[in-house]
Structure 1
């Protein structure tokens, strides 16, 4: 019995994956491609950096067989998926099994490409978000008195006086074998830099705030960054609250795939944890999603095989006992960042501004599209409805100097030529090829999520687009008015300043407890 026949008889397990046939026009589109990438990463993790794909074989182990064209196309698709996650095909064998042509493809990880996953954390205050992140990033349990949380209690402006962009609570990563790279001290800039320089994958956690009065900051953290996933925490002692519902609504409104962590399971009896799990399950079903409990690594395989925006994984965790932390590590390693717009001109919305002695003005944010290199020129603005040309001096990511910033990366960029400019959050840094315009009015499709009465012409909520936060007036509404739960088209006008916005951008608007979402449909010049 040949090698392939033996593997097929054993079935899919560990580093072995069966693929019947893969087609470029089907399996290289965004959704299918992400699922296949996560699946490959799981197999590489199981094989300590090596995976074996058997093609021409169905999931149940029956032989389909491939002709030459099908074999080559399937191999080409697998090669493309491998390249995208920093792996490579090292061997391809063709064999005939039961009279049908099949193939064995061996894939190894390689460590020359850093993948960056950005996760936005959300949840009610005191639900253990910072403590959970401390345990994840350091790999060390909390002492029950907030030792793990202490790393993240420092205000960002107190620790971010250098060049780097640390918009996140913390960062950690994974090596080429899929093993976590934990930080002894998350406030140590050198350790952060080592994750970027030595790892094959970095996980950044973006700061959001659990206090209800600071909902604006939470929205900025979720809307203003190019997040890949949301991590919603629900404390086992407190359960689902109105803030939990609010934050889940914001994550889903921005089409973010979401993971739920039930925290503080060490503080309550199992019956209470079960009750909170049931509360969370009901909430997820109520918003039209499918809850899925993750109890072991096999459940993670199910999640990545069916990776989509419908399934919401739920994991029980404790920063004290470390329950659930290894499962979160494995899940974070396997899931794939959302498709970034690496093609096209460079665009970044500014979230924070610093003045660093000896360097000058530094702006930080998440690269939305394209790439930018040191030494290149860019446009900064709008400033009095115009854009100022600046030069990119240096770029850093988590205190690690890089020569290029790409879509989806959180970076700090020092710019030359902006010494006298009043740089503000919400401004854009973009390549000259974008031909940026300043926009005062636009037409959008909107949906009202919550409002006590009807919204009419003249309504003035605060709108959040990327890092822009601006009072905006509804100058015209199709059908004259709109109420909660309805969808319509409206014309909106920024009340004070013009901004750089474009067709297709999503936004959230709010005023008191009234909230809605929208998508820019047309720019009014």
Structure 2
């Protein structure tokens, strides 16, 4: 009982949480998710361990509860722990006032926590430089030296513009950041994956307007947990900034805003850009919060994970590294948002022919778990069929692993299929699936210069699929900017695997819209 009293005297905070009791009410989806985020936060603060004191009120008053409430509370804590990939390592009970109080210790299992962050923002606003400084801890030279860690194509390096989706990784071990001395070294990236107990993978997208299609693919095609929107202090909010913000919000992602290049402008100009960012966020129903200290990161990250309307805004400089300590603290505290227990499914993003290995496909795991040696289905091919293949090996950021889970970015070596038979947008699945040509969708038109009628053919982006679709039928005969409506759509060239509930973006020139698949026809 003395142990309980000591914990009560310490009070709630860090990795200690008081709970008088939990009931079936706390299993309701919204409340359960909130409590799971809270538990994950306590585990992170405790560097892998959280302590729940039950039978004690939020204010720290020892009340005691009966046997049935005690057991129900422990069972619900067990369910919450499973949700965040943790387990109850011990349960202690003590009698008091004809009731029980207890101490439940919860520890993270061996599985690494892995969050995916997608960058977005206007060209030359410093997305790649920001990520390069984060993963190395080194300041930039003012000429984009750290950007080269992510720009790997010859013309990207020469022009200083990213033209392809790039990936970067950094990690935490016992709460401390693991830095990369040489971010282009595959072996260093592998060591981060091996040694970290929490990983952050950045999906660095493209800001240049002509490559918007690539940006959309990067944000929709990966199982991203959070969006990092970059705004340069010398430019402010641009049209592309608003467009990328719209994509992140359409995906229902929590967003962090980093104002870069703060060293290049006056205090008055910086204040003006902060006001502009706040105004932009408020217009789309978000609640901006200017981060001034790393100490705020824990609480703001918890609020952000529970309510995606909260948007932390961080002022940064790649030259002085101002604000980078705040960003590191935010990423450290942010929990994994989605862990799907459904069967394994991965949309293919890239395809490689590797000497001595064979055909390798990469992407982020949408759901389930994959183990080396398993048999999977891949497809659909041109004829709509799915074929069986075998997993020869799995890598994550160049580190060989024997198991991958939902949210991991992986490369999978396959046996049973040729490189030239595959294309982006196919899926790897535990189950044999149905190819889809036609489906119904609810759509919303952002912008279109005239009227959209049957026969309209935009490009649809869903997961890693970028395919021309035909609007076969439209309820009400036509749609215009700002309209919502029901549409029957059909893939023009080949079938794909899509399913009800998936969100997508469609565009054609400067015409853009979004939608959700409501019914498929197979």
Please confirm whether the aligned pair reaches a TM-score higher than 0.5, indicating the same fold: yes
* Secondary structure, counterpart of 1:464 in structure 2: strand
Distance in 2 (CA, whole Å) between partners of 1:61 and 1:144 is: 52
Q: How many residue pairs are counted as aligned between the two chains?
A: 513
Q: Which moved more, 1:238-247 or 1:332-341?
A: 332-341
Distance in 1 (CA, whole Å) between partners of 2:137 and 2:391 is: 37
Kindly indicate whether the alpha-carbon contact (under 8 Å) linking 1:36 and 1:305 is maintained by their aligned counterparts in 2. no
* Secondary structure, counterpart of 1:71 in structure 2: helix
Q: Which moved more, 1:487-496 or 1:190-199?
A: 190-199
Deviations 1:164-217 (A, max 9, x none): xx9643101112x22222211111111211222222221111121010111000
Deviations 1:314-362 (A, max 9, x none): 1222222222222222221222222232322x22111111111111111
- Cα 1:46–1:131 change in 2 (3 A) is same
What is the CA-CA distance between 1:286 and the residue it aligns to? 0.7
Q: Which moved more, 1:65-74 or 1:406-415?
A: 65-74
Q: Partner of 2:177 in structure 1?
A: 180
Q: Partner of 2:160 in structure 1?
A: none
What is the CA-CA distance between 1:75 and the residue it aligns to? 2.8
What is the CA-CA distance between 1:496 and the residue it aligns to? 1.5
Distance in 2 (CA, whole Å) between partners of 1:524 and 1:156 is: 44
- Cα 1:100–1:516 change in 2 (3 A) is same
Distance in 2 (CA, whole Å) between partners of 1:142 and 1:54 is: 47
What is the CA-CA distance between 1:312 and the residue it aligns to? 1.5
Distance in 2 (CA, whole Å) between partners of 1:121 and 1:180 is: 20
Unaligned ranges ≥5, structure 2: 158-163
Q: Partner of 1:364 in structure 2?
A: 362
* Secondary structure, counterpart of 1:245 in structure 2: helix
What is the CA-CA distance between 1:300 and the residue it aligns to? 2.7
Q: Which moved more, 1:46-55 or 1:376-385?
A: 46-55
Distance in 2 (CA, whole Å) between partners of 1:295 and 1:278 is: 15
Distance in 2 (CA, whole Å) between partners of 1:68 and 1:445 is: 50
- Cα 1:400–1:157 change in 2 (3 A) is farther
What is the CA-CA distance between 1:145 and the residue it aligns to? 2.8
Q: Partner of 1:270 in structure 2?
A: 267
Alignment partner of 1:130 out of 111, 128, 131: 128
Distance in 1 (CA, whole Å) between partners of 2:436 and 2:220 is: 19
- Cα 1:294–1:102 change in 2 (3 A) is farther
Q: Partner of 1:52 in structure 2?
A: 51
Kindly indicate whether the alpha-carbon contact (under 8 Å) linking 1:86 and 1:200 is maintained by their aligned counterparts in 2. no
Alignment partner of 1:230 out of 213, 227, 230: 227
Q: How does 1:511-522 map to 2 (within 5 A)?
A: 511-522=508-519
Q: Partner of 1:337 in structure 2?
A: 336
What is the CA-CA distance between 1:232 and the residue it aligns to? 0.5
Distance in 1 (CA, whole Å) between partners of 2:335 and 2:153 is: 30
TM-score, normalized by length of structure 2? 0.91
Deviations 1:375-429 (A, max 9, x none): 2222222222222322221111111112223222111111112127421111222
Deviations 1:25-65 (A, max 9, x none): 44455554454344344434444544433333333334454
Q: Partner of 1:153 in structure 2?
A: 151
Q: Partner of 1:21 in structure 2?
A: 21
Unaligned ranges ≥5, structure 1: 160-165
Kindly indicate whether the alpha-carbon contact (under 8 Å) linking 1:167 and 1:365 is maintained by their aligned counterparts in 2. no
What is the CA-CA distance between 1:430 and the residue it aligns to? 1.8
Answering whether residue 332 of structure 2 is matched by residue 347 of structure 1, we say: no
Q: Which moved more, 1:84-93 or 1:279-288?
A: 84-93
TM-score, normalized by length of structure 1? 0.90
* Secondary structure, counterpart of 2:184 in structure 1: coil
Kindly indicate whether the alpha-carbon contact (under 8 Å) linking 2:43 and 2:107 is maintained by their aligned counterparts in 1. yes
Root-mean-square deviation (Å): 2.6
Q: Which moved more, 1:121-130 or 1:421-430?
A: 421-430
Answering whether residue 377 of structure 2 is matched by residue 379 of structure 1, we say: yes
- Cα 1:270–1:381 change in 2 (3 A) is same
- Cα 1:315–1:73 change in 2 (3 A) is farther
* Secondary structure, counterpart of 1:132 in structure 2: helix
Distance in 2 (CA, whole Å) between partners of 1:26 and 1:199 is: 36
What is the CA-CA distance between 1:478 and the residue it aligns to? 0.8
Alignment partner of 1:480 out of 472, 477, 481: 477
Answering whether residue 238 of structure 2 is matched by residue 241 of structure 1, we say: yes
Distance in 2 (CA, whole Å) between partners of 1:382 and 1:315 is: 43
Deviations 1:129-158 (A, max 9, x none): 111111211122223332322211223999
